[in-house]
């Protein structure tokens, strides 16, 4: 689908950190569809965004009007528990230094991507943005969540003191074609898809799943998330954080059953209750996104899962 050219996109130079990644590739494609002609995508091989001199070189090379900061070190519960220091330091240093240098160079707009992991463990459902500061995040991913949350503080304080146009978005867990299926760092949906497909291929009749299946989660299809980010980039210019979600909540137990059905896995599941459940419930209030910049998610969850599974089936031979 080609969207007609929009002045905001055709007249500005964009830098998309993380633009070669899962979400980033979709954002870059949709930028082009909207008429963006000048898009700079830094690669990790050339620019280490945890290092100040590398950030400065990237900004010199990119000369951006708008920065969409997607780059992050991310992973599921296991990766967060194994690398809490890395997740805190790398995400904090990437974001804080990049926003500061962007302000210093008079970048016109900075779109910071936060995380649902920033919410307190016991946030009332659905999560409202005003509840962000009501408690400490769920322990397994608190270092990552807090590092990202500091970008909200920075965006608001730089807007207040310097008039810097930085906005902060809170997307719920992403999924879709092109997701990370590496078992060491993947999130729950790609991890379960990989386990079920492999079990079918290898004739296995039992799969281990972490926790007890009781937590609930909300997921947003990657195409929808990219739409929300670009709508905010174009239309939203204020200090309040904004949730990006689908408004659909499902238990891990029901998710497991749905993925098993869609992949053709007919075996059993062994729930490893020695492993953490993570946050008890996750579901976002998405009112602000609709009110502030007209965003609503459109992909149904089952159809999104089907497309993700189909992509994995087609590409599993190339995935380590």
Angle between helices 188-202 and 252-263 (to 10 degrees): 40
Over residues 208-218, mean pLDDT: 93
Judge whether 265 lies within some domain.
no
Contact in structure between 155 and 144 (CB atoms under 8 Å): no
Q: What is the pLDDT of residues 219-234, one digit of tens each?
A: 999 999 999 999 999 9
Tell whether 64 is covered by a domain: yes
Q: Give CA separation, 202 vs 120, 197, 240, 262, in Å.
A: 41, 9, 49, 17
Decide if 144 is catalytic.
yes
Taking the C-alpha atoms of residue 134 and residue 196, their distance in angstroms, rounded to an integer, is: 38
Q: What's this model's pTM, rounded to 2 decimal places?
A: 0.94
pLDDT greater than 70 at residue 4: no
In this prediction, residue 2 carries a pLDDT of: 47
Kindly give, in sequence order, each residue whose CB lies less than 8 Å from that of residue 265, ignoring residues fewer than 6 positions away: 196, 197, 199, 200, 207, 259
Local structure of 234: helix, strand or coil: helix
Helix, strand, or coil here: 175? strand
Residue 182 resides in a domain: no
Options 47, 119, 144, 265, the catalytic residue: 144
- Confirm whether 274 is domain-assigned: no
pLDDT (tens digit, 9 = 90+) per residue, 29-69? 999 999 999 999 999 999 999 999 999 999 999 999 999 99
Q: What is the pLDDT of residues 241-268, one digit of tens each?
A: 999 999 899 999 999 999 999 999 999 9
What average pLDDT score do residues 80-86 get? Answer: 85
Res 3: pLDDT: 53
pLDDT range class, residue 92, cuts 50, 70, 90: very high
Q: Does 30 fall in a domain? A: yes
Q: How many domains does the chain have?
A: 1
Q: Is residue 51 part of a domain?
A: yes
For the segment 115-144, the average pLDDT, to the nearest whole number, is 93
User: For position 91, which CATH number holds?
Assistant: 3.40.50.720
**Is 306 inside any structural domain?**
no
Question: How far is Cα 130 from Cα 252, in angstroms, rounded to an integer?
Answer: 26
pLDDT tens sequence across 265-319: 999 999 999 988 887 888 999 999 999 999 999 999 999 999 999 999 999 988 8
In a domain, 159, yes or no: yes
CA distance 236 to 292: 7
Q: Which DSSP string corresponds to 247-310?
A: S-EEEHHHHHHHHHHHHT--SEEEEETTS---SS---B--HHHHHHH-------HHHHHHHHHH
How does residue 1 score in pLDDT terms, banded at 50, 70 and 90? Answer: very low
Query: Domain range holding 170?
Result: 7-175+222-246+283-299
């Amino acid at each position: 689908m080609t969207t007609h050219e929009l002045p905001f996109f055709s007249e500005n130079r964009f830098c998309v950190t993380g633009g070669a990644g899962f979400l980033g590739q979709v954002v870059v494609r949709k930028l082009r569809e909207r008429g963006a002609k000048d898009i700079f995508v830094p690669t990790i091989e050339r620019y280490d965004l945890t290092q100040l001199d590398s950030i400065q070189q990237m900004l010199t090379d990119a000369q951006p009007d708008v920065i969409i900061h997607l780059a992050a070190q991310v992973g599921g519960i296991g990766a967060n528990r194994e690398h809490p220091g890395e997740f805190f330091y790398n995400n904090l240093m990437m974001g804080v230094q990049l926003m500061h240098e962007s302000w210093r160079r008079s970048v016109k707009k900075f779109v910071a991507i936060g995380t649902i992991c920033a919410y307190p463990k016991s946030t009332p459902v659905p999560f409202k943005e005003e509840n962000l500061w009501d408690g400490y995040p769920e322990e397994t991913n608190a270092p990552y969540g807090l590092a990202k949350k500091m970008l909200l503080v920075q965006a608001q304080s730089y807007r207040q003191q310097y008039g810097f146009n930085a906005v902060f978005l809170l997307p719920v867990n992403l999924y879709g074609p092109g997701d990370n299926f590496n078992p060491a760092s993947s999130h729950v949906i790609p991890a379960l898809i990989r386990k079920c497909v492999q079990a079918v291929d290898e004739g296995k009749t039992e799969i281990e799943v972490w926790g007890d299946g009781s937590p609930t989660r909300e997921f947003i299809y990657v195409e929808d998330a990219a739409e929300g980010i670009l709508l905010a980039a174009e239309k939203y210019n204020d200090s309040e954080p904004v949730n990006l979600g689908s408004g659909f909540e499902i238990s891990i137990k029901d998710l497991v059953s749905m993925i098993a059905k869609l992949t053709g896995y007919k075996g059993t599941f062994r729930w490893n209750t020695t492993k953490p459940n993570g946050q008890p419930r996750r579901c976002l209030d998405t009112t602000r996104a609709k009110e502030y910049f007209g965003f609503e998610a459109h992909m149904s969850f089952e159809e999104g899962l089907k497309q993700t599974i189909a992509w994995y089936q087609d590409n599993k031979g190339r995935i380590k």
